C-alpha cells in the first residue's frame, strides 16, 4: 500500500513506495551507457526520476502505465524534487488502491449521473429512451462512464471529468433548445449525452490518464460510433434515419476535418452541439488554468494550446 505522497517528499528522504510509472524513456547514444528517465506520479503530483544501474533489466520488466514499487532517494534541483532510483518493480495488483494515483472530480458522481438520467427520461421519442435505457442498464458502461476523464490534460482531466462535462453540455443544450424555434430537442440532448462516450475506451484511467492503444489507433469518435451502433442494434424499433442523425452528431462534433471530425456538422442540431462543446470545454479549460496561477499577478502565464495570456483582473477573480 502506498504510504507517502509526492507533495510530502523532502530532499534527503529515502523511500520505498508505490508510484505510477507515467513515462519511461531510454536515453542512449550520447555515450556508451544507457540510463532511464522516468516520470513518477500519484494523485498529488509528479516527480522526475533517473535510474543509472541495472538499466536493461529494469527497463525490460516494467512498463509505462503500471504502478511500480520504487526504492530511492530524493534530491533537489532549483526547487524541483528529483529521485535517484535504485530498484523498481511492478506492484502486485492486489496491493494497489487506484484512488491513490488519480485526481477526482469535486462534485458528487452519483448525483450528477442521476441528473443525466433524468434528462434522458425527459426525451419524447420512446426509441431514444430505450437507447439510453440500454446504456444505463449496462453496468460496465456505467462504471466506466462514472470514472472516465474528458481529456488527458486540457480540461476535465480527472476521474469523473467526462460525466461532469457531459452533464454541463446536456443542461446547456436543454436551455438553448428552448431559445430557438424549430430545434429537435430530442436529437440535440441525445447528441450532447453521447458525443464523447468513445472516451471511455480512448483513455486508460486505472492509475494514470493516458491514451489507450485503441484510442491512438482508432480514435474516440470512431469508437463512440461502434458503441452506439451496438446498442441501437438491440432496439428493433429504432428508425434508420435517427440512427444516422445521431451518429452524425457524434462524428461532426469537432466542427471540421482539421479538428478531427470526418464530416462537418450538416444539421442545425449538429452545428449547435459543436458550438456548445467548444464553449464548455474552452470555459472549463481556462478556469482550470487560471486556478493554478500566481494569484498576485493580473495576467496568467502563456497558455500554449490557446496561444495567449489570460487576464484575471485588477482585483483578481
Report the site for a second copy in 229-268 (rule: CB under 8 A).
Answer: 229, 241, 244-245, 247-248, 251, 257-264, 266-268
Of the candidates 81, 148, 170, 194, which one interacts with a second copy according to CB under 8 A?
Answer: 81
Of the candidates 12, 14, 31, 304, which one interacts with a second copy according to CB under 8 A?
Answer: 31
User: C-beta of 10: minimal distance to a second copy in Å?
Assistant: 8
Q: Is 311 in the site for a second copy (CB under 8 A)?
A: yes
- Nearest-10 crossing angle of helices 161-179, 139-147: 90
Q: Is 296 in the site for a second copy (CB under 8 A)?
A: yes
Q: Is 301 in the site for a second copy (CB under 8 A)?
A: yes
Q: Is 153 in the site for a second copy (CB under 8 A)?
A: no
Of the candidates 17, 19, 24, 156, which one interacts with a second copy according to CB under 8 A?
Answer: 24
Of the candidates 80, 94, 140, 236, which one interacts with a second copy according to CB under 8 A?
Answer: 80
Distance between CA 69 and CA 90 in Å, rounded? 6
In whole angstroms, how far apart are CA 305 and each of 141, 145, 158, 233, 289? 31, 27, 19, 39, 11
Distance between CA 235 and CA 38 in Å, rounded? 48
Q: Is 73 in the site for a second copy (CB under 8 A)?
A: no
In whole angstroms, how far apart are CA 253 and each of 158, 191, 256, 301, 317? 22, 9, 8, 30, 31
User: C-beta of 51: minimal distance to a second copy in Å?
Assistant: 9
Distance between CA 221 and CA 252 in Å, rounded? 9
Of the candidates 50, 69, 154, 235, which one interacts with a second copy according to CB under 8 A?
Answer: 50
Q: Is 278 in the site for a second copy (CB under 8 A)?
A: yes
Report the site for a second copy in 174-213 (rule: CB under 8 A).
Answer: 175-176, 179-180, 182, 213
Scanning 52-60, 88-96, 124-132, 155-163 for contacts with a second copy by CB under 8 A, the matching segment is: 52-60
Cell 476535465 appears where? 156
| Residue with smaller CB distance to a second copy, 110 or 258 | 258
Tell me if residue 38 falls in helix, strand or coil. strand
Letter string b/e over residues 295-311, b meaning 16 or more CB atoms within 10 A of that residue's CB:
eeeeebeeeeeeeeebe
Report whether 194 contacts 228 (CB < 8 A). yes
Amino acid at each position: 500500500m502506498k504510504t507517502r505522497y509526492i507533495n510530502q517528499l523532502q530532499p534527503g528522504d529515502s523511500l520505498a513506495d508505490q508510484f505510477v510509472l507515467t513515462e519511461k524513456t531510454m536515453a542512449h547514444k550520447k555515450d556508451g551507457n544507457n540510463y532511464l528517465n522516468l516520470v513518477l506520479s500519484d494523485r498529488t503530483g509528479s516527480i522526475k526520476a533517473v535510474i543509472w544501474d541495472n538499466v536493461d533489466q529494469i527497463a525490460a520488466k516494467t512498463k509505462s502505465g503500471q504502478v511500480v514499487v520504487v526504492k530511492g532517494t530524493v534530491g533537489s534541483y532549483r526547487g524541483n524534487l528529483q529521485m535517484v532510483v535504485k530498484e523498481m518493480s511492478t506492484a502486485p495488483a492486489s496491493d494497489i488502491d487506484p484512488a491513490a494515483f488519480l485526481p477526482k472530480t469535486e462534485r458528487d458522481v452519483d448525483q450528477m449521473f442521476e441528473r443525466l438520467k433524468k434528462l434522458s427520461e425527459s426525451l419524447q421519442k420512446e426509441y431514444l429512451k430505450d437507447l439510453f435505457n440500454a446504456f444505463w442498464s449496462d453496468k460496465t458502461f456505467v462504471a466506466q462512464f462514472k470514472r472516465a476523464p474528458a481529456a488527458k490534460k486540457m480540461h476535465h482531466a480527472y476521474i469523473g471529468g467526462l460525466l461532469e462535462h457531459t452533464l454541463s453540455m446536456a443542461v446547456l443544450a436543454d436551455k438553448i433548445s428552448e431559445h430557438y424555434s424549430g430545434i429537435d430537442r430530442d436529437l440535440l440532448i441525445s447528441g450532447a449525452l453521447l458525443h464523447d462516450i468513445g472516451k471511455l475506451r480512448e483513455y486508460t484511467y486505472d492509475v494514470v490518464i493516458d491514451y489507450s492503444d485503441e484510442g491512438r489507433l482508432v480514435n474516440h469518435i470512431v469508437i463512440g460510433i461502434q458503441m452506439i451502433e451496438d446498442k441501437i442494434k438491440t432496439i428493433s424499433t429504432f428508425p434508420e434515419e435517427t440512427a444516422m442523425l445521431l451518429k452524425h452528431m457524434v462524428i461532426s462534433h469537432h466542427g471540421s476535418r482539421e479538428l478531427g471530425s470526418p464530416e462537418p456538422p450538416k444539421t442545425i442540431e449538429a452545428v449547435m452541439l459543436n458550438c456548445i462543446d467548444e464553449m464548455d470545454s474552452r470555459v472549463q479549460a481556462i478556469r482550470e488554468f487560471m486556478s493554478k496561477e500566481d494569484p498576485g499577478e493580473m495576467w496568467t502565464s502563456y497558455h500554449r494550446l490557446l496561444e495567449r495570456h489570460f487576464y484575471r483582473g485588477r482585483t483578481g477573480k
